[in-house]
Structure 1
Amino acid sequence: MELRHLRYFLAVAECGTVTAAAARLHVAQPAISRQLHRLERDLGVELFTRNGPRLVLTHAGRQMRDVAADIVTRADRATMVAQQMAGGLLTRVVVAAAPTTIEYVLAPFVATLSSSDPFVSVDSVAPDAVHEAVLAGHDLGVAATAPPTGRLVWTRLTSVPLRAYVAPDHPWARRRTVPLEELVHEPLLVPPATDPTRRVLDEAVAREQLRYDRYEQIAWPPLSQALAAAGRGVSVVTNLEQFGARPIFVTDHRAQKVLLTIHACWDPDHYAAPALAEFVARLATFADTEVREAAHSVS
């Protein structure tokens, strides 16, 4: 069974006669008739019955029509993708990123794209799994981690500040900033040790030669912020405000905000590496304006 046999079969099924199918395909009628008989012989089933001048699908033919249409569609798509790959064109971008990055960086960026831009799909992965996901075949990774050494290309997108969230009746509720030397003495709600936000916080605390008094590890940022709103501790995340919790920027001893830097990465040997680089440049422009502005402001 060859792909052209399936195309002939589908054309006859739609047109109803070999004559009409031959005219559509610009193929001689005898050739189509021979290939249909061969297809029926190969499959071991009768695909058509004759009703006057028309050919009507049998029950087996109707089932085969759906299968054949799927095969032909997939084959056509494979051909199109191969042609695009050969030309270095980028029509679809599969991105690996953590849920927070998808929500606050990728989704807002995708909303600015047009129908002529690549179609973007995302796979939610752990923050420390982005690098491996790109090595495994994802087109692009967006991660809030320090670029590891290796063969991937990494580029900075933007930096966002760490925020401490407190309940509305907390003594800090009307403050804009809190230094690390004060923060570490509060009951903290922090991400797990593998989370990029936690790593940045731990590094900043270590540089200041400080230690946490006590903390709870909360893996899901919205829950951490909800607990802070309920007065169960001070949540340290990068998410924008929710649940009525009051945001306060975390600062170091120089009164500078503690920042988390977001990067994008891709394989330089990707078939559309130049197009990916251009796509990332647009993402970086968006991230360093729209995302950064929202992250550095509070309502």
Structure 2
Amino acid sequence: MAVMTRATDTEADDFMQLRPLLFSLAYRMTGSVADSEDILSEAYLRLRRAQQRCTPIDSLRTYLSAVVTRLSIDHLRSARIRRESYFGTWLPEPLVDATESEFNRVELADSLSMAFLVLLETLTPAERAAFLLHDVFEYDYPGIAVIVDKTESNCRQLVTRARRQIATRRPRFDAAKQQRDELARRFFAAVESGDMKPLIQMLSADVVAYGDGGGRGPSLPRPINGRDKVVRLLTAISEAIRQFDLHLEHAHVNGQPGALMKDEQGRLLNVFELDIFDGTVQVVRSVVNPDKLQHLAPLIGPDHPLRRGGPRVLPNRARTDPISRNPED
């Protein structure tokens, strides 16, 4: 039988030690850095109130995981309505060069990818919570039952349904990180220089490009499919880089190869992430929505042509590119 103790100031200090775990859980639940920070702040306040009431806490880790999970579930239920009316493709807020020690585990790094987080959007909030707690964070079913306030049997059913839902669409990545990074380096060098010939060879035949501008910058209302169309899109981006004196900085975005597009003052315009498998780029994602980037760096202001004009402000040769028209044309 577990020994029950009262929350103490020491346990409140331990919140900071648990913070990386709690943030990892909240972020994988919500896909939002800002919302995860808000959830952690509320969790800390609830811990302090529990201390003041001398509430018995068996395990601080379990207690805080439960608070963060339940707050995240509440957030997801309200966020679904907003995401249904979101302009174009919704992508998670990017995490750049995450250094948490847990990311050394391959399965945790892959579960941080944008591809995986988008896939989790197909689950109900309860399924998402149970699946993450069990398959990613390795909680046992009795612990999950306490956290999500359901029976162990219900938790097993939630995890089983979640696994079935994502099994056939779970993203795959090349295992060799060094090879992925080298391919990404050559990919972004080609985009920056405008040399499309080597870039074409790096793209899979069925490559897909997603752009999240939220209507506040160059946006793709729908994904762009196929090598030819994606090359035209990348050509437009390359021309914009040179026309507006931008550059690409290599980075790891959500655990995958990526890059940050910045101006000469170091202000950020957008973030790219690549899915690389079987030695080719399978997916290109771009997050331009400034609401999703403000936690990373100072941003290029709203008066910049690529911000002010939305998706139609691009170099002249790009006017026939899918980014400025219907991407399916």
Please confirm whether the aligned pair reaches a TM-score higher than 0.5, indicating the same fold: no
The structure carrying a bigger strand percent of its residues is 1
Q: TM-score range by the shorter chain?
A: under 0.3
Asked which structure has the greater RCO (Cα within 8 Å, sep 6+), the reply is 1
The structure carrying a bigger helix percent of its residues is 2
TM norm structure 1: 0.24
Structure with higher Rg: it is 1
TM norm structure 2: 0.23
